[in-house]
């Protein structure tokens, strides 16, 4: 088992794609081995070498999560995390591994990308102050706060200050979500905007990329010279009275009142 882990460590630090594929296979083998450990959740038997088994399993799954990020496979990452997190919560006594904080931070990034904000907050709630003080964990927490308020420009500066290269994968996916949000906000808050400004606000590096984005997702934006006009398609009619809903409400009041009387 230990030798397997050593191999794994070497493969992960090697980092080439062939190595990664091999590491993935290796992790699968290790997981099969893990099944025989009764000291892991949900059984949690206190077998003689429980402590060792648990920390072995934790570090194997930590590698698994990191390999998944390197392979850019979100589903695999989630699966690994689902196996790993119960070990963290139910065996708090295992020694802190070097990868724990990184994996915790990556998990937060993952939840942010998936827009599972309630899970995100639940996870943060479970972290100790020491966990939260770590830059790897602190990064996604701060990021979420900025995004909630809407300071999207902070996102740009955050990209420059990644705590680890592994975060890049999630940042890339997050960028498209952020772009969508900004574009939605732009539509309603500007009448017209210079194309160059819009491109800057949407964090595109080149005009072509920007044009492609607009062409793909924002078909109703109109170009007028070098300006973009957002309000062209908006309909200025009064909203209808939702008669069916009002009728339903009134009827329900009537039945309730009847019951009372």
Q: Which residues bind other proteins (CB under 8 A)?
A: 89, 117-119, 121-127, 145, 148-154, 181-182, 184-191, 193-194, 197, 201, 239, 241-242, 246, 249-250, 253-254, 256-257, 260-261
Task: Give me the least distance between CB of 117 and other proteins, in Å please.
Answer: 6
Which lies closer to other proteins via its Cβ, residue 67 or residue 174? Answer: 174
Task: Give me the least distance between CB of 129 and other proteins, in Å please.
Answer: 9
Task: Give me the least distance between CB of 66 and other proteins, in Å please.
Answer: 22
CA 78 – CA 76 distance, rounded (Å): 5
Which lies closer to other proteins via its Cβ, residue 175 or residue 190? Answer: 190
Which lies closer to other proteins via its Cβ, residue 35 or residue 148? Answer: 148
Instruction: Identify the CA nearest to 105 among candidates 123, 92, 118, 91.
Output: 123
DSSP H helical ranges for the chain = 2-14, 17-34, 50-70, 74-90, 100-113, 117-126, 129-133, 135-149, 152-160, 167-189, 195-201, 207-217, 243-260
Task: Give me the least distance between CB of 87 and other proteins, in Å please.
Answer: 13
CA 171 – CA 176 distance, rounded (Å): 9
CA 109 – CA 114 distance, rounded (Å): 9
Which lies closer to other proteins via its Cβ, residue 125 or residue 216? Answer: 125
**179, 200 Cβ separation under 8 angstroms:** no
CA 257 – CA 105 distance, rounded (Å): 55
Which lies closer to other proteins via its Cβ, residue 2 or residue 237? Answer: 237
**10, 24 Cβ separation under 8 angstroms:** no
CA 230 – CA 73 distance, rounded (Å): 37
Largest CA distance in the chain: 79
Which lies closer to other proteins via its Cβ, residue 19 or residue 197? Answer: 197
Which lies closer to other proteins via its Cβ, residue 32 or residue 188? Answer: 188
Query: Could you give the 3-state DSSP secondary structure of residue 99?
Result: coil
Task: Give me the least distance between CB of 124 and other proteins, in Å please.
Answer: 7
CA 259 – CA 210 distance, rounded (Å): 61
Task: Give me the least distance between CB of 128 and other proteins, in Å please.
Answer: 9
Task: Give me the least distance between CB of 113 and other proteins, in Å please.
Answer: 17
């Amino acid at each position: 088992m230990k030798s397997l882990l050593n191999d794994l460590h070497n493969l992960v630090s090697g980092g080439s794609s062939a190595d990664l594929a091999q590491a993935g296979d290796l992790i699968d083998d290790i997981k099969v081995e893990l099944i025989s450990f009764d000291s892991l959740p949900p059984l949690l038997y206190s077998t003689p070498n429980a402590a060792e088994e648990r920390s072995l399993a934790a570090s194997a799954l930590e590698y698994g999560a990191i390999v998944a990020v390197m392979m850019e496979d979100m589903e695999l990452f989630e699966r690994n995390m689902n196996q790993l997190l119960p070990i963290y919560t139910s065996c708090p006594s295992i020694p802190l591994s070097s990868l724990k904080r990184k994996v915790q931070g990556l998990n937060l990034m993952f939840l942010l990308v998936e827009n599972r904000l309630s899970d995100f907050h639940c996870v943060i709630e479970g972290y100790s102050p020491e966990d939260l003080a770590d830059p790897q964990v602190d990064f996604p927490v701060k990021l979420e706060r900025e995004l909630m308020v809407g300071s999207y420009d902070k996102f740009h500066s955050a990209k420059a200050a990644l705590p680890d290269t592994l975060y890049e994968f999630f940042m890339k996916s997050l960028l498209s979500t952020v772009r969508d949000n900004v574009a939605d906000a732009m539509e309603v808050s500007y009448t017209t905007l210079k194309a160059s400004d819009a491109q800057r606000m949407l964090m595109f590096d080149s005009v072509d990329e920007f044009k492609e984005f607009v062409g793909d997702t924002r078909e109703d934006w109109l170009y007028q010279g070098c300006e973009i006009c957002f309000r062209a398609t908006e309909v200025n009619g009064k909203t209808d009275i939702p008669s069916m809903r009002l009728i339903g409400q009134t009827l329900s009041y009537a039945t309730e009142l009847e019951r009372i009387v």
